[in-house]
Amino acid sequence: MTAHSAGAARARTRTGGPKGDGPKIVEHVMGWTLVVVIAMLVTQIGLL
């Protein structure tokens, strides 16, 4: 294995980060759910 092919193999290695082909609607719904839960928590505690 040459240095060039070793570098190319390393560049293709997945790091476990977010994938670009996932369902975006699930992330969108979960994000808004988190916003609503935090808003409910803030109002129940009396910070607003």
DSSP secondary structure, 1-48, as one string: --HHHHHHHHHT---S---TTS-HHHHHHHHHHHHHHHHHHHHHHT--
Six-digit token string for 47: 């910070």
Higher pLDDT, 3 or 42: 42
Return the higher-pLDDT residue of 31 and 47.
31
Residue 23 confidence (pLDDT): 79
For 7-43, write each residue's pLDDT tens digit: 555 566 767 666 666 678 889 999 999 999 999 999 9
Q: Is the pTM of this model over 0.85?
A: no
Task: State the pLDDT at residue 47.
Answer: 82
Residue 4 has pLDDT above 80, yes or no: no
The residue assigned the tokens 């803030």 is 42
